[in-house]
Amino acid sequence: MRIDVVTIFPAFFAALDVSLLGRARQSGLIEVRIHDLRDFAHDRHRTVDDTPYGGGAGMVMRAEPWGEALDAVLTPGSTLVVPTPAGSLFTQRRARELSARQHLVFACGRYEGIDQRVVEWARRDHEVLELSLGDYVLNGGEVATLAMIEAAARVVPGMVGNPESLVEESHEEGLLEYPSYTKPASWRGLDVPPILLSGHHGAIAAWRREQSIDRTRRIRPELLPDDGTDL
């Protein structure tokens, strides 16, 4: 999988050198390239933003540097991802979809966003996804891009040592994950649920599923089917 990121803050992406992703990059499973948008601005101050047409607060990123940057990185099979609080929700399903793409390009906006014509133009020849991490506003697309790259990369086959560990995670089955425990069996007066020490795999699986459903009902009821379907 190849990933290109265009940003005015390349330093954010030093985080991609560490941990699982760092190893995946070293092994060649995932190739990431970071590009500075200002390299595509040609005035003395390398300006990438301007005031919004129609007035209002804040600045908008100009189409010209974005056009040049995307000309340099987009190839015929690329998917362009634009992180924005005005996008559709980024979910585990989306992460899996992104993980199957050959080439992802992330366009990190700042300020009040990128001139909308950039998306319109890119849609002529490419799949373009405007995606939001959630219903809150970040200062720009960089942190959202890091989150999306990590979520997509960790489900690329070969990334996680034991693929089974991905199956029972939160959101993989539309449920939150059950609680986990490790040694010691008793700690500060708190005991691990006895069923987990029983060795009865069937009973443990049933307990975990019950815990998942119960936790989802308490914390994220909107994830459950509301039509009375038994899970």
Contacting residues toward ligand ADE, per CB under 6 A: 83-85, 132-134, 136-138, 140-141, 144
Helix runs in 9-116, H state only: 19-27, 63-73, 92-99
Shorter beta-carbon distance to ligand ADE: residue 65 or 83: 83
Whole-angstrom CA distances from 29 to 11, 22, 87, 92 are 22, 10, 29, 20
Closer residue to ligand ADE, CB minimum distance, 52 or 196: 52
Phi and psi at residue 15, to the nearest 5°: -60, -25
**Token pair of 108 as six digits:** 């990190």
Q: How far is the CB of 73 from ligand ADE (least distance, A)?
A: 19
Please, what is the minimum distance in Å from the beta carbon of residue 132 to ligand ADE?
4
Nearer to ligand ADE, 148 or 175 (CB): 148
Residue 112 C-beta: closest distance to ligand ADE, Å: 10
The least distance separating ligand ADE from the CB of residue 138, rounded to whole angstroms, comes to: 4
Is residue 34 within 8 A of residue 10, CB to CB? The reply is yes
**Choice between 106 and 178, CB closer to ligand ADE:** 106
Which tokens belong to 131? 């995606």
